[in-house]
Amino acid sequence: MNKFFALANEVDLVAGLKTHDAAIFTLLYERYAGALLGVLLRIVHDPDDAADLLQESFVKIWQQGHRYDPTQGRLFTWFLTITRRTALDYLRVKKTQATQYAAVAFSSPPANFTPTYHYIGFQSWVDGLLADKHRQIITLAYWGGHTHEEIANELNLPLGTVKTRIRLALKHLREVLAQEENL
């Protein structure tokens, strides 16, 4: 660690960030990367993804350095906010991709699927079994990739009602599948 790094205060670091001073940016990385990586690991749980997201976060910090306002909070808090948003955006995209993959995977049953409903798509089968209030929520959650909170907001329902309807719908579908297996 060099002497300047130990002596650099937040005002100096902010000034260097705003002027795109590469030496200051290196100091910022050395000072904050470890803590931010720890936060990313708690959010994404994958060291490779966390390392990539750390780099992406620092690119955003470099590009948006002129936007930092010391009256709004400390520099580390601003870094933390950018890093956390980067990780949450990544998880949203990953969830959307997984949901799209699942929708394609379940849009038609496998060739060896033999129950009486084998000729229709899985979603159509689910739609035929559930009441409207349950079908709408299941569609939003599993085919739309929405969180429980997003569904509650979109349908103007209490969060507990959304969770209960999902639980009841899944219970009903499990019971129907169990009956089909016993035929």
Please identify which residue in the block is written with the tokens 């590469």. 22
- pLDDT tens digits, 68-125: 988 888 888 899 889 999 988 898 887 766 655 555 544 444 454 444 433 345 566 6
Nearest to 138 by CA among 94, 101, 173, 181: 173
Please state, in angstroms and as integers, the Cα–Cα distance from residue 105 to each residue in 19, 98, 114, 120, following that order. 50, 10, 17, 14
Q: Which helix (H) or strand (E) holds 181?
A: helix 159-182
- pLDDT score for 152: 92
**Quick check: 43 and 88 in contact, CB under 8 A?**
yes
The C-alpha atoms of residue 178 and residue 166 are separated, in whole angstroms, by: 18
Nearest to 65 by CA among 13, 105, 101: 13
- pLDDT score for 119: 37
- pLDDT score for 3: 46
Check residue 143 and report its DSSP letter: I
pTM of the shown model: 0.52
What are the DSSP calls for 22-49, one per residue?
HHHHHHHHHHHHHHHHHHHHHHH--HHH
The tokens describing 37, both together, are 């990586």
Q: Indicate if the pLDDT at residue 16 is higher than 60.
A: yes
